[in-house]
Amino acid sequence: MTEKHRSAEWQRNSKHVRSRVRAAWAAGDEPECWRCGRPIYEGALFDVGHIDPFGGEGLENLAPEHRGENRRAGGRVGARITNAAKGGSTFQALPWA
């Protein structure tokens, strides 16, 4: 877990996003994954993702997304950072990567 995910603001706001997803399910709705636009079905595992990976932990930058998509994107960003540190290509973070 990164330092960003230990902050009080992240903890508070990620709980709020999770509560909104559960409330949507309780109302019979299927919230959408912000990354792909497909529904997150009731009971599915999901993460709270950063819309802008370098943005803050405010509610305007957090949204539910499919767990696999969130973790693949984080892996790609981490790989870019690692490769740039090894003298590879220039690091260029993309908000959707």
Predicted local distance difference test score (pLDDT) of residue 64: 94
Q: Is 46 part of a structural domain of the chain?
A: yes
Q: How far is CA 64 from CA 24, 79, 94, in A?
A: 12, 23, 19
Is 44 domain-assigned?
yes
pLDDT given for residue 18 in this prediction: 96
Given a contact cutoff of 8 angstroms between Cβ atoms, the answer to whether 73 and 35 are in contact is: yes
**CA 74 centroid distance within chain:** 8
How many angstroms from the chain centroid is the CA of residue 90?
Answer: 24
Is 34 within a domain? yes
* Domain assignment of residue 11, given as a range: 3-85
Phi and psi torsions of 32, nearest 5°: -95, 145
Q: Is 35 exposed, middle or buried (0-12, 13-18, 19+ CB in 10 A)?
A: middle
Instruction: Give pLDDT, residue 32.
Output: 94
- Model pLDDT, residue 63: 94
- Number of independent structural domains in the chain: 1
Tens-digit pLDDT profile for residues 27-77: 999 999 998 899 999 999 999 988 887 888 899 999 999 886 666 666 666
Write the DSSP assignment of 29-82 as a string of letters.
Answer: --PBPTTT--B--TT--EEEEESSTTS-SSGGGEEEEEHHHHHHHHHHHHHHHH
